[in-house]
Amino acid sequence: MKKENINWILRLILSALFIVSAVAKLYPSPYFAISTFEVKQLYPLGFSAEIAPYFSRVLIGIEFALGIAILIPHYLKKITIPATLLLLTVFTIHLSYTTFSSGNAGNCGCFGELIPMTPVEAIIKNILAIGLLIWLFKITPSDGKSNFWVLTSIALGCILGLFMMAPMKVNATPVLSLPNEIQNLGISTDTTLNTVMATVEKAIDSSNNKAVIKMDEPVAKKSGFTNYFPGIDQDKKILCFFAPGCEHCQETAKELTEMKRKDKNFPAVSIIFMDEEADKIPEFFNVAGTKYPYQVVDIISFWNLIGNTRDTPGVKYLWNGNEILFYDGINANKFNASELKKIVKKKYSELKK
């Protein structure tokens, strides 16, 4: 095969790799995907909430630009190939450190949520790409007549395009929605509720021979969610983290509704929705079979609340503010209705055994 043909095959493969990687980071929608990338990939690296939105858009814009630049003749050997090698090398070093310190777990984010990839898989992919780039560099002739402004225009255009596709948003103050039945009782979202006294023991006062019975419950603590639901730290509660358009979330809510229907003592359910496809919330409750108290928060706040290592649907069982159980995602730790049904009926002392 002619060297020129090999050259173009390599360029097409590498270009596709970078463009697909950039596009995947925008799936299923630009703002949702980029915000998720920031919280799950950049925050753990130490990026602040102020810097991450800029860095993520610039990084993805550069990936787009490199994918395009590999296909054009301007400074291919002098700038584009070395810059691409440098970027992949930095990524590989970071992934190697992550694997060494934290193990080969989770999604590295190279292809966003579209194509989940472990750090080791990403390292192998990067090493193969580096090998192809070195091969391309060796068979590529010296740069001919080149225009530096062409590369600059492509880079700036791609970066600005990312800021236009996924404009940065100012976090809005979430608004609590309560069912009409609760609103009719005169309970507002500003109501302050007392914490529950709870301890596991039965104490006998020998001096007056009186028995003091204390409930078999965990000691009350702050869950961190009272600004969303004032009574969340009282007694047993189910706090859910759902995306309105997520079919798995809808099905989980439907199961919870069925559990509440069969057990009148089942804990109250509250929901925190991310604002992706918030217009589907009425449809969500139609599928769930009833309406629950809920709040809608922006995507970044949502991931910060559920945890950047977790996924939807999330179902947290709280007791006096204590996290007893937390289901998330659709894999090993997915929601288990039969297990939760048994656990919510157990006394606290039984849970500790």
Q: What is the pLDDT of residue 351?
A: 86
> Has residue 272 got a pLDDT over 60?
yes
Rounded Cα distance, 172 and 199, in Å: 38
Over residues 291-313, the mean pLDDT reads 93
Across 46-50, 169-173, 224-228, least confident range: 169-173
For the segment 194-204, the average pLDDT, to the nearest whole number, is 35
Report which of residues 55 and 185 the model is more confident about: 55
Q: What pLDDT sits at residue 203?
A: 37
pLDDT band at 352 (very low <50, low <70, confident <90, very high): low
pTM for this prediction: 0.73
pLDDT at 238: 97
Mean pLDDT over 234-260 rounds to 96
Query: How far apart are alpha carbons 69 and 14 in whole angstroms?
Result: 11
Percent of all residues in the chain with a pLDDT value above 70, rounded to a whole number? 86
pLDDT mean across residues, the chain: 86
* pLDDT tens-digit readout, 70-106: 999 999 999 999 999 999 999 999 889 888 887 887 7
